[in-house]
Structure 1
Amino acid sequence: MSLCSVVRSMRMVPFGVALGLLGACASAGNSKPSAPVNALYSQLDQAGKGYETALQQSREGNLDASQLTLTRSLDQLKAAAAQCGNTAGCDTQRFFSVFDRLLRLKDGDFSGDLDLNSDVDPAQRSLASGKAGAATLPQAQRSVTLLHGQKLSELIAMNGPVKAALEMWLTQWRPQLMDAYVNYQYMRYQMWPQYEKADLPEALLFGIMAKESGGKVHAVSRSGAAGPLQFMYATGMRFGLTSDDGFDMRFDPAASARANAEYINEQLRIFNNNLELTIGAYNGGEGRMRRAVGDNTSVSFYDPRIYNQLSPETRDYVPSVLAAAWLFLHPQSYNLRFPRIDGAPGKVTLKRPASLSELTVCLGSAGGMNDGWFRTLRNLNPRLDPQVIQPVGTALQLPKPLEQAYASRCVDGPWPILAGDLHRAVVPVVPAPVVSAPAAPETSRYKVRRGDTLVSIVRKLHCSSVQEVAELNGLKHHRIGIGQALKLPVCR
């Protein structure tokens, strides 16, 4: 069996280091390779057989031997791949297409901790072990990679717009991507079960949220869209996001995720599981998308007949969502490392009055959160005004690791005293200046004579303008007539 067939048939190849190997496979083509290339391919074949052996050892449960074999093969592979890049006959231009194929092989069906091909990053393997209400959170199974039975990776076309969006997320939008990831991890126990019940992939939920709000529960757009998933008022009402005792349910993470899942499934049925058209409908409106598509739901979102009818915002939105979802699935393949977050849900009962702002001050950077806990506390307690002091006995949601930090920092000692002092600070209110209406100008009368023009009259005044005199007399087009009485400002 050749190395090419081994690599394409197996699922255990680590990504970054195997790319040179696959580039060599892709470049072989139909031309007869030179002797140096043949020798190189022989080395690559040996490395491939090593990977095959490591995979078999892993399946048999011999994990130590599997890791040893894998390490040796990796060293051999890296050396061979480096030579391939400097050897004539290895077509490195085909690297990107093979890289795309390799990433798609990560949709695997092995079980166990050594399933390196899963669409779920190892840091995403298991959900928080706490409870959401009375229900224990389920473990993240292979279903997170599927969209109604189809592999999500196979539904994302790695084309120019998506690649451009990947670059934006990895460069200019990187801070928003990282913030969205952190915010999502603390809300995950509320949001992800809603998507799982709807048989939708978690990566899609993250992609939409990252693009829409960055995981800020109280985000409101200029157009009036609100919440972590940015529902317009009318659409939110249609999916049950109404007012609950004065609270806009669009700001509730669990409710908005449920409504979003219902909307996505509704549009997937309409567009025959065409993911890109569905995402486009979420952003640009389902009516507009239906009119553009007509009866041909198999048409590509990027078909000029569709693409050119959409707004620039929607043309950017769809690949951006897909790129964020792709990075959620494959961060390490793009030199991206998301932080490890313990998102287990917790709860404290206030032992002294405090606002969310005060708690943020007294918690400080507990748990290594250098940016502070204000956003997380707001996201997990969306019904509370962060500036309003809550009474003793109020139950607050927060990450479980903060339960101990609250007890040690926010009940007694100097920090709650400092937080309270800062919160009660009074900022002087400067009254707005009273602007009096300008006094009406003093005027005199002038009777228009033969040969007068508005311009010549104004020139004699030396203190006014044609526009002022025209407005003072209500003149249209600056027309005046002989004998007409004009009001002129009095010059001093």
Structure 2
Amino acid sequence: MKKLFSLALLLVWIGTAAPTKAQNRNLPDDVQQSGDILKNLDSLMNLWYVKNTTYNKAKKSENIYGYRADEVPTFSDSVYTARIEKINSPLPYVYNDKVRGFINLYAVRKRQQVEKMLGLADFYFPIYEEVLDKYNMPLEIKYLSVVESALNPRAVSRVGATGLWQFMYTTGIMYRLNVDSYVDDRKDPYESTEAAALFLKDLHSLFGDWFLAIAAYNCGPGNVNKAIRRSGGKRTFWEIYPYLPQETRGYVPAFIAVSYVFQYHREHNLYPQTVNLPKMVDTVLVDKEINFASIAQVLEVDVEMLRDLNPQYKKDVVPARNKNLYLRLPATKAYNFGTFKDSICNVYTRSCAPKQPVEKKIVLKARDSSDSTVIVMVENTNPSYVSKQQEGNNYSKTKVQYTVKAGDNLGLIADWFDVSIYSLRRWNGLKSNKVPVGRRLTVMVPSDKTSHYKKINAMSKLQKARLANPNYEAPEQKVAVKEKPEPKQTTAKTTVENKTAQTQKSSTSGKKFEYYVVQRGDTLWSIAQRFPGVTVEEIKQLNGIRDNRSLQLGQKLKIQKG
């Protein structure tokens, strides 16, 4: 009986395994060897915003060829050749059987993933194109990210290459991508695209051919140089093709196939699916450590959305401790961030604080000899603190009034009264987080803490600030103290130095200056162009800059007015 059962299991296993092997055998060798390409296409489906894609309502209008919904068009080699020749690009696109294998992969076998990638392209490609245009590179290089990661910013290869552009750790560090316990810039769409463009530009300068540069991006310039030597000094991809690593042989054909499918997707009955990412994104500067949960609570945005827009933050924390960091938000929420930034910081600070101990008072009331009723009364030892999780509990509540003052916002008020912004809005019928000065707000507070919360309406700003942070100190007023200079002995050298200083002072006296904050993409040359009559050398000298590449985002530059 056991033998029959084992035989049955073996037959079932063979029956289920055989089709998969047969399916793999049907794929061309180059496609079978491109393990990371296939893996990333499948892992794309696990992303939250991809799972929440919606069917494209405009599909019927885009179906200009009248295909049936389930129709999968295929074409002859001559049609593929003619279409690829029409792609307007400086890249040396060609069609052959290697390319056809990958066209079949994307346009036939992985149609669902391709339609989702077409939707993602609407979000990522404008980022890529802006950077590529800045460096005067072919815009078609953007398709390389599809081959590398299937437009998945969280993609990680079997050897550790990470992000949309699949940077290895060492290469990422070489191109100034920060990787530490909290941040991985390889997953940042903006930073990684900047680094990828510079890396590819360097590779193109080395080999003088874009397809060789793309091959070197995959396997490293050393392997490409080795293939060139083995080929007898040939300098094109197809001439050194047999001497490249197996996986890299399919890399350029896959790139050509993606370029073709994305430009001719309608001809293959493929249409972009709407992805759950905002159409408009704005960037805000964060100067204090905060986490996604606090941002989500105050701004009423989904934590998953924050993760998708900011995949570089590993632990849902923006660790802005010693330097400013960027946070990307839906444009509709970015404005509110500036308004409620202090509230977000307070919520995060409170979430990190140790839990307040509670005092339990237990009263036993006997019903009869065999039963008793236990009433547990919980009082917080800190009368100014009530957990927001306890808001919904059936404690006795009392209404208190608070009049909105200049500089107040719902986030701050919620912190002072230990309630949530959502509750404030619900109690007062507010449709948004905006509240006018002078508006009287109703706040529900525990009855036994009423006297404490009533005092808040008459408190000063400093007193209210200390409710959220007892250690808060008002900014000190710095008073300049003029010290009497010590008498100096006059020497010939001192006299010369004094005359030089007086000359320099007289040369700068009467000149006016203004300040400029460095933005993303700025260079010393582009900044100088903003101010007529100002040169790069003048900016460097005035700000003590030695290296043209040492500009930092947010850096404040002193500019002499003309």
In which range does the TM-score fall when normalised by the shorter chain? 0.3 to 0.5
